[in-house]
Structure 1
Amino acid sequence: AGVHLAAAYPGTPSTEILEELSRFPHVYCEWSTNEKVAVDVAVGAAYAGRRALAAMKHVGLNVAADSFFYASFTGAEAGLVIVSADDPGMHSSQNEQDNRRFAQFARVPCLEPSDSQECKDFAVAAFDVSETFDTPVLLRTTTRTNHSSTPVELGERTDVAPRRKKFPRDPAKYVMIPANARARHPLVEQRVLDLAAWAETTPLNRIEWRDRSVGIVTAGIAYQYAREVLPAASVLKLGMVYPVPEQLIRAFAAGVERLIVLEELDPVLEQEIRLLGIACEGKSIFPLCGELDPTVVRSAAAAAGLAVDRSPVTAAALDLPELPARPPVLCAGCPHRGVFQLLSKKKAAVSGDIGCYTLGLLPPLSAIHSCGCMGAGIGVAHGAGKAGIGERMVAVIGDSTFYHTGMPALA
């Protein structure tokens, strides 16, 4: 894709993206202080005419939201792609928010690959879309896509010439004072309409006609589950999940007897289809919470009377003795151990933070009583202290989190 710069903040399941990119000599890579800084760094490079990428886990986009939104209004001089690695099932996260909502909120196109090959291909497409429509592009992946391995045909790197020699002097476009922002907003709304028209014909969206008694609208990793569990069904695979192709959806819906939406987490596509006045089923069949997998999809589909590939299998009951729990623990020699041991002994009220030291929550230390998001611990301790509860609060935070979002609460 000719990327010149990539910036990120580590967080499962996105960490490996920058680790792998750093192996390419033509790409400048950096771990940024937090996700907002990563997006700002990428925006700066894109303003300067170089293709740039910022990567983060889903909750990182919360931290970067201000930058994400202003970049939607300004556009850039070169391709700008933001990778959001969502975590259905919360394998390593405090929530399982669906960041397709962020794309709708910021009026930014969103692409969602379904396997490793598409991750590569859609990244290339995302930069082309970004430059064609003067917009950031959100590339949404999920844990299962990020942590799976499938054959990928890489091809040769395409060197993209810088689109500028100097930083642009265009205040009306890049200085978001209210007067300029008001002028930019109608352009953003027109861009959404232009993207929706483009979505009708892009090969990123495609119909696969099979048995027309059932039609599945799906995207991302859920497409793989649809093909495995419902192999006879017709499928509308959406590679661009925002904005959606209205006419393509209408044509597909008209060609099937029963329209079903299979998507992970929020009913984003289901709601878009219902807003078109098209009847469909989705979360009435498949779960709203948690990560999907073939077993979950198969059981839900069979219960809804759909023709699945095989009957759901009940796991065999094994007559085994109860095994002791083996939860993760702090590393031997970790300096947090002694701190947590003392705090536990003193029965102190402790507000914690995001990091491996959150394991101080578990026995035998049992020394953390709140943990919400990166950098929250100090602010929570301060607020509780000012509430007049009559006991002193202790905040615990790691070094990376301290620089990430911990310092503002101390200012």
Structure 2
Amino acid sequence: MTKQLLSGNEAIAQGAWEAGVAVGTGYPGTPSTETLENLVKKDGVYCEWSPNEKVALEVAIGAAMGGVRTLATMKHVGVNVAADALMSVANTGVNAGLVLLAADDPSCYSSQNEQDSRNYAAFARIPCLDPSDSQEAYDFARRAFEISERFDTPVMLHETMRIAHTKAMADVAGQRADVAPRAYETNIGKYVMMPANAVRRTEATNQREDALVDFAEKSDLNRVEMRDTHVGVIVAGALYNHVREALPEASTLKLGLTWPLPPAKIADFAAAVDKLYVVEEACTYFETRVRAMGVDVAEPPAGRLPRSGEVMPAHIRAAFGLAEPAHLDAATDLPPRPPAFCAGCPHRLVYCELRRMKAIVTGDIGCYTLGAVAPLSSVDSVIDMGASLSMAHGMELAGAPERSGRPVVGVIGDSTFAHSGITSLLGTVYNGGTGTLCILDNRTTAMTGTQGNPVNGVRLAEQMAGVSPLDAPAGKQLDLVRLCEALGVDEVEQVDAQNLKEVRRALKEATSHADRLSVIIFKSPCRLIDRTRRPTPTISDCRACGTCIKIGCPALGKDADGRAVIDTNQCIGCDQCAQSCPFDCIKREA
């Protein structure tokens, strides 16, 4: 064994590799992304980004059924997308080990909601492992495949952002298990989920649940730690460390296997302490189930823990009436740092025009969500991936453009369009929908780290080898224009997203009619993959009108007299400001 400093995601990748995983699938999404990006670097394993999480899990199910150990990775909202496949494979069982990494994001650091994915494990009745640090992330990843094969079930490996991105020392073996592929045998009764077979498989799932409860009672994954018996705490995951820091004398029942729960072990622990508490975040997953067992759960003496967001040691101390340790006060004189598009972002001009048009904009998931914040303030809704196109159709059906006098425009990114926008667009075309839809093609999956996707054609191994989407062969890239035409869209146009006149013209024309459907593909590479810099424009005779400032470029500011100034350290010479200036005060370099 050797010690390595690993994040939870790195540790999971290492543990899965050592367990002999042969296939890794997923869709990039914080906080899960780095797991697959680390796994693909290792010998003897094939990894790929799928168009979406449902496809990723289905590929993983096929690989496991075909006989090799497989890992599927996704963030919590991705589990929603994959839920259909998950519920069925929970019934069929697996052949070789199948592990689903579900990465939750309490406090919504990079997500549109909070949810506890362990509820899916309980819903599907599959084992759920909950590591509390990088060492356990490594250990549990290895054990998850053994449990999967022992009980013929997919296994959820659950983590939160605090585990995924915190680095800690871990003892790792560094040697890959020699796991031979399992033979595949046709078994229609097991794998073909027509109703009659599904009923029989449900009975098999019932028997598996009984065996798993017995396993949970005996497993060392669930650990009782007796200290002061006045206070007992049931806890799992990263919060175990927070409880140990905030309540060092409290006894703990640390649950590493969080579905199924061990009823007898919980009852015995409750009987051994004066008061039993549950510490958890984002929902009442444990409290509800423990109370349902007939076990009394006490409220913290000084108030409940937060109902949403991460639960930190300070929250626990406050709930138990303990003083906060002395610490330095947070700085109060720091400038605000609101999120903003990068200098030269190709999405900026599109949103500037949509704001100028006073359009009702149904948005989508991705960095272009920042079009909702000041000064652009031009996105009216963000629900989930692919929703923008469907919701724009719904807005049209509701007559919103006619009643408001404002055009409705759906906006989606290239990766998100491939993820779930294609079927949304197909639905609009199929049902005779009209209006304007925009695909913002910046050649990458920008928000999660510039990953490849079907539109830019860069696969995961190529991405990790440094292949740029700008260099990917054209034949590997999804042709958005031809796809939209094939779907039956009335009008399809591709426009340079950095050309203000063309952006304005295209949007004006597309929104000027109400009898047909228009798709505009605004294409220009993300600044994170195209680092080309041109000379900074010059400003002369500025009239301090503020028009250029309203485009929201971080390289633009004002002097004491309100005149525009350009930060040459941030400016990349995109000329968006020069195109926006109504008085031609900003001169582009020849």
TM-score tier by shorter-chain length is over 0.9
1:212 Cα deviation after fit: 0.8
Out of 217, 222, 237, the position equivalent to 2:254 is 237
Unaligned runs of 5+ in 1: 303-307
Report whether the alignment pairs 1:62 with 2:80: yes
Aligned to 1:400: 415
Post-superposition Cα deviations, 1:309-342, rounded to whole Å, max 9, x if no partner, equal xx21587667955x55321211222221111111
Out of 21, 30, 44, the position equivalent to 1:12 is 30
Out of 309, 312, 331, the position equivalent to 2:324 is 312
CA contact under 8 A between 1:43 and 1:71: conserved in structure 2?
A: yes
Aligned to 1:410: 425
Report whether the alignment pairs 1:83 with 2:101: yes
Shift in CA distance, 315/395, structure 1 to aligned 2, threshold 3 Å: farther
Q: Distance in 1 between matches of 2:65 and 2:298?
A: 43
Amino acid corresponding to residue 409 of structure 2 in structure 1: V
SS at match of 1:25: coil
Aligned to 2:61: 43
SS at match of 1:200: helix
Aligned to 1:27: 45
Aligned to 2:382: 371
SS at match of 2:204: helix
Higher gyration radius (CA): 2
SS at match of 1:396: strand
Report whether the alignment pairs 1:147 with 2:165: yes
Post-superposition Cα deviations, 1:258-277, rounded to whole Å, max 9, x if no partner, equal 11111122111111111111
Q: What is the aligned length?
A: 401
CA contact under 8 A between 1:100 and 1:110: conserved in structure 2?
A: yes
Q: Distance in 2 between matches of 1:362 and 1:107?
A: 41
Shift in CA distance, 352/258, structure 1 to aligned 2, threshold 3 Å: same
SS at match of 1:84: strand
Report whether the alignment pairs 1:350 with 2:361: yes
SS at match of 2:409: strand
1:154 Cα deviation after fit: 1.4
Out of 338, 349, 353, the position equivalent to 1:327 is 338
Aligned to 1:224: 241
CA contact under 8 A between 1:270 and 1:281: conserved in structure 2?
A: no
SS at match of 2:90: helix
Q: Please give the residue correspondences for 1:235-274 in structure 2 after superposition, counting only pairs within 5 Å.
A: 235-274=252-291
Could you tell me the percent identity over the aligned residues?
50
CA contact under 8 A between 1:262 and 1:282: conserved in structure 2?
A: no
Q: Distance in 2 between matches of 1:93 and 1:315?
A: 30
Post-superposition Cα deviations, 1:356-404, rounded to whole Å, max 9, x if no partner, equal 1111112221111111111100001000111112143101110000000
Q: Distance in 2 between matches of 1:89 and 1:202?
A: 31
What is the CA RMSD across the aligned residues, in angstroms?
1.5
Shift in CA distance, 205/320, structure 1 to aligned 2, threshold 3 Å: closer
Q: Distance in 2 between matches of 1:194 and 1:316?
A: 51
Shift in CA distance, 257/343, structure 1 to aligned 2, threshold 3 Å: same
Give the TM-score normalised by structure 1. Answer: 0.94
Amino acid corresponding to residue 313 of structure 2 in structure 1: P
Amino acid corresponding to residue 223 of structure 1 in structure 2: Y
1:35 Cα deviation after fit: 0.4
Q: Distance in 1 between matches of 2:299 and 2:140?
A: 26
Post-superposition Cα deviations, 1:117-164, rounded to whole Å, max 9, x if no partner, equal 100111111111110100001111000011101111110221211111
Q: Distance in 2 between matches of 1:101 and 1:371?
A: 24
Q: Distance in 1 between matches of 2:118 and 2:54?
A: 18
1:343 Cα deviation after fit: 0.8
Q: Please give the residue correspondences for 1:94-109 in structure 2 after superposition, counting only pairs within 5 Å.
A: 94-109=112-127
Q: Distance in 2 between matches of 1:186 and 1:196?
A: 16
Q: Distance in 1 between matches of 2:332 and 2:278?
A: 40
Amino acid corresponding to residue 250 of structure 2 in structure 1: A
SS at match of 1:228: helix
CA contact under 8 A between 1:173 and 1:180: conserved in structure 2?
A: yes
Post-superposition Cα deviations, 1:251-307, rounded to whole Å, max 9, x if no partner, equal 1111111111111221111111111111012586322211011111111122xxxxx
Aligned to 2:309: 290
Give the TM-score normalised by structure 2. Answer: 0.66
Unaligned runs of 5+ in 2: 1-18, 427-590
1:95 Cα deviation after fit: 0.6
Aligned to 1:387: 398
Shift in CA distance, 72/394, structure 1 to aligned 2, threshold 3 Å: same
Amino acid corresponding to residue 14 of structure 1 in structure 2: S
